[in-house]
Amino acid sequence: MTEPLCPELLLRYQPELPQRKDWRIGCIGAGFIMRDCHLPAYRQAGWQPLAITSRRRETAAALAQQFGIPTVHDSIADLLQDARLEVLDIAVPPDVQPAIIRAAVAEGRGRLRGILAQKPLALNLDDARDLVQRCSEAGVALAVNQNMRYDQSVRAAKDLLQRGWLGEVVLATIEMRAVPHWMPWAQGLPSLSTFIMSIHHLDTFRFWLGTPERILASTRPDPRTRFPHRDGINLYILEYASGVRAAAWDDVWAGPGPKEGVAPDHAIRWRLEGTDGLAQGTIGWPEYPAHKPSTLEFCSRRQGNYWFRPRWSEAWFPEAFIGTMAQLLVALEKGTEPEISGQDNLETLALCTAVYTAATEHRVVTLQEFLPASGSPAWQRHP
């Protein structure tokens, strides 16, 4: 039976927004994620970045013209010297991001207030810890753009969990059958799916359930991706001390598609099963560039024998990117730690490292192996 959602059951799926609209933001990078996600989201939110730069000045200039950004800097070094800027929005590949953050902290000491970095923050935990420490010592709030946390269905599901309407969670699953568009820079990285795609789902499990204790995983190359890589299709199980189990199938192959003469069936589905209720939904991202909102439906014996199906007009791309910048700006206004802080993100990065290790070393691993500052990451132990 389906029942309209009552006003008292309206779910909190929107992020908190800052009071100020005039934050002085400098943008580094002018690729897809900045062009199609960050800047359209900021325009919706009413924030106007002051400056932008990228590897190619003409690319940055084109975005500046499109989005009304008044200053185009010739280089990252020039932008980092712009004394007007309070917040940096960094959208560059993960192998070059750490050096930019280090330079930003050194150059902006005393005036730079916050940095929104891309995920993964770094490609190994040693670099990530170093970035977190440098920002902390300089008084710079560091946030990591884990934008799936701000997908509307993911956030609404978190609200259900916090209200206790599902009871004690027994099993959480994410099933991805979709083909990412791997950027050219991904070809040179030591990890493909784990640190670029699976990181979304691993961070979502952390957002919903906390950080697990043990990880089982299996991976194989994706037959469609021609450049060399180890981790393509990722399957993993997360074990929690409470008894909760979480599992994901990150199927970036998803079977032959239109280029192979087969009609595709692409989707991302998630499900939360608890002792008092059930919630499930879909993620609209595989329909991009169509603006497809994610969905949610839930049933709880605490709310009657009904299936509730709330709907919204926002989608992951680009509206979730309002949330990631907003939580950094709100944290700066309140003097608090960002919800997706660099410190918190160390556990997401450790979880990615654990999944990669479990899959490539064919063993069950504990997350505690990767949380202390020790050793080299798993891929550095494999020639």
What's CA 123's distance to the chain center, in Å? 15
For residue 43, how many other CB atoms are within 10 A of its CB? 16
Structural domains of the chain in order of their starting residue, each with its CATH number: 25-147 (3.40.50.720)
Q: For residue 98, what are the contacts with CB-CB under 8 A and spacing of at least 6? A: 121, 122, 127, 130, 131
Residues 190-217 pLDDT 10s: 999 999 999 999 999 999 999 999 999 9
Residues 8-36 pLDDT 10s: 568 999 999 999 999 999 999 999 999 99
Does 6 score more than 80 pLDDT? no
Contacts by residues 180-183 (CB-CB < 8 Å, ≥ 24 positions apart): 180/252, 182/225, 183/31, 183/32, 183/93
Does 345 score more than 80 pLDDT? yes
Which phi-psi region, left, alpha or beta, contains residue 336 (left: φ > 0; alpha: ψ -120 to 50)?
beta
Which residues make beta-bridge pairs with 87? 25, 114
For residue 65, how many other CB atoms are within 10 A of its CB? 10
Helices (H) and strands (E) in the chain, counts: 11, 16
Whole-number Å distance between alpha carbons of 190 and 233: 15
Q: What letter would DSSP give residue 341?
A: B
Residue 115, SS3 per DSSP: strand
pLDDT score of 32: 95
Whole-number Å distance between alpha carbons of 205 and 212: 9
Going by pLDDT thresholds of 50, 70 and 90, the confidence category of residue 260 is confident
Does 259 score more than 80 pLDDT? no
Residues 70-128 pLDDT 10s: 999 999 999 999 999 999 999 999 999 999 999 999 999 999 999 999 999 999 999 99
